[in-house]
Amino acid sequence: MAKITMREAISQALMEEMDRDPAVFILGEEVGVWGGTYAVTKGFYDKYGAARVKDTPIAENAIIGAAIGAAMVGQRPIAELMTINFAFSAMDYIVNQAAKLRYMFGGQFTLPMVIRAVGGGGRQLGATHSQTPDAIFAHFPGLKVVSPGTPEDAKGLLKSAIRSNDPILFIEHATMYQVRGEVPEGEYTIPIGKSKVQRPGKDLTIVTYCKGLELSMKAADELAKEDIEAEIVDLRTLRPLDMEPVLESFKKTNRAIVVEEGWKSYGVGSEVVSRIYEEAFDYVDAPIIRVAQKEVPLPYNRTLEQAALPQVPDIVAAAKEVVK
């Protein structure tokens, strides 16, 4: 296996799928000549040309609308949104059109489109550019929501998303493009809608995804120093939500915490905890704790921003609380 960054893994997935299928093309703000805000599509414009790497105006409605139209006539667009916060400008197109058209037309056509969007805080981009609204989009049936936490999963899941005939929101965390991890060499894909145990353990279950996985793995290392073995289940996909590995782990450990970067109220953690209580109540030995962002618009000041975001000590403290 090669050890590469998240950025390289995503870039490889895009390039391999564009080489494989001429119907795949990219559109978005600064994806072409500039090479992408986070340099994911650097060099793509020179290789594929303006017909397949399309720079667009600063108009998210136009980007998503064009992608929907292209998908309906057989193309496989990958629409890049500079940040998921800008998805709010295209909310109607995403949740009222892309998510519903195949269903409303009785399956007469498919919408094979991917929306790549950068989410999360930690880069001092201010309250309106640092949100983690993943749960909002996962609320809507018809739209699949994927958010990987490792380079291996990012590449495998993105390739599967591009080949899918459903609209998929693919969320990448703004602070994780330099994260390195082992990625299989050669052709591989990872099924969408399958959670994964990223670290085995016996004392408690940590359920998380995306940036939360990175933090949880570090927290598990700290807990191991005190002989607390945490099992980490990475959701990877928020819709469809695969709870089977979560429930299997919980029935073994009888204790759990859920780690997410979004706000606690009405969040991903709320859904996971509800499902555990509904489907595995007899196995509960301690209240399940949610670790999430403070309930404030994310500050610009770095010290305040980090104070508002979930951190490793928060996870360690929550884990100790449920196992004591």
Question: Over the stretch 92-102, which tens digit does the pLDDT of each residue have?
Answer: 999 999 999 99
Q: Please state, in angstroms and rounded to a whole number, the distance separating the CA atoms of residues 210 and 97.
A: 27
Residue 165 lies in a domain: yes
Half-sphere exposure in the Cβ direction for 175 (13 Å, CA): 18
- Asked whether residue 237 falls in the same domain as residue 300, the answer is yes
Kindly list the catalytic residues: 60, 129
Q: Please state, in angstroms and rounded to a whole number, the distance separating the CA atoms of residues 300 and 211.
A: 19
Portion of the chain with pLDDT greater than 70, in percent: 100
Residues 6+ apart with CB under 8 A from 192: 144, 146, 157, 160, 161, 164, 168, 237, 240
| Bridge partner residues of 144 (DSSP) | 168
Sign of CA dihedral 5, 138, 240, 19: negative
Among 183, 218, 240, identify where a domain stops.
183
Tell me the mean pLDDT in the region 180-198: 97
Under a CB-based contact definition with an 8 Å cutoff, are residues 64 and 90 in contact? Answer: yes
Tell me the mean pLDDT in the region 146-162: 98
Portion of the chain with pLDDT greater than 90, in percent: 99
- Asked whether residue 172 falls in the same domain as residue 49, the answer is yes
- Asked whether residue 307 falls in the same domain as residue 175, the answer is no
Tell me the mean pLDDT in the region 275-302: 98
Residue 283 lies in a domain: yes
Q: What pLDDT score was predicted for residue 235?
A: 98
Q: What pLDDT score was predicted for residue 263?
A: 98
Residue 189 lies in a domain: no
- Asked whether residue 58 falls in the same domain as residue 98, the answer is yes
Q: What is the band of 286 on the pLDDT scale with cuts at 50, 70, 90?
A: very high
Residue 270 lies in a domain: yes
- Asked whether residue 162 falls in the same domain as residue 205, the answer is no
Tell me the mean pLDDT in the region 187-198: 98
- Asked whether residue 83 falls in the same domain as residue 123, the answer is yes
Instruction: Note the pLDDT tens digit of each residue in 3-43.
Output: 999 999 999 999 999 999 999 999 999 999 999 999 999 99
Instruction: Note the pLDDT tens digit of each residue in 114-137.
Output: 999 999 999 999 999 999 999 999
Instruction: Note the pLDDT tens digit of each residue in 221-258.
Output: 999 999 999 999 999 999 999 999 999 999 999 999 99
Tell me the mean pLDDT in the region 175-181: 97
Range of the domain at 312: 196-323
Q: Could you tell me the CATH number of the domain that includes residue 317?
A: 3.40.50.920
Residue 188 lies in a domain: no
- Asked whether residue 114 falls in the same domain as residue 8, the answer is yes
Q: Please state, in angstroms and rounded to a whole number, the distance separating the CA atoms of residues 61 and 23.
A: 22
Q: What pLDDT score was predicted for residue 85?
A: 97
Q: What pLDDT score was predicted for residue 1?
A: 87
Residue 191 lies in a domain: no
- Asked whether residue 100 falls in the same domain as residue 128, the answer is yes
Q: What is the band of 319 on the pLDDT scale with cuts at 50, 70, 90?
A: very high
Q: What is the mean pLDDT of the chain?
A: 97
Please, what's the largest Cα pairwise distance for the chain?
Answer: 60
Instruction: Note the pLDDT tens digit of each residue in 44-69.
Output: 999 999 999 999 999 999 999 999 99
- Asked whether residue 134 falls in the same domain as residue 265, the answer is no
- Asked whether residue 173 falls in the same domain as residue 220, the answer is no
Among 183, 205, 225, identify where a domain stops.
183
pTM score, whole prediction: 0.97
Domain count, the chain: 2
Instruction: Note the pLDDT tens digit of each residue in 72-94.
Output: 999 999 999 999 999 999 999 99
Residue 190 lies in a domain: no
**CB count in 10 Å sphere of residue 296:** 11
- Asked whether residue 172 falls in the same domain as residue 282, the answer is no
- Asked whether residue 297 falls in the same domain as residue 319, the answer is yes
Q: Which amino acid is at 308?
A: A
Among 183, 217, 232, identify where a domain stops.
183
Q: Could you tell me the CATH number of the domain that includes residue 29?
A: 3.40.50.970
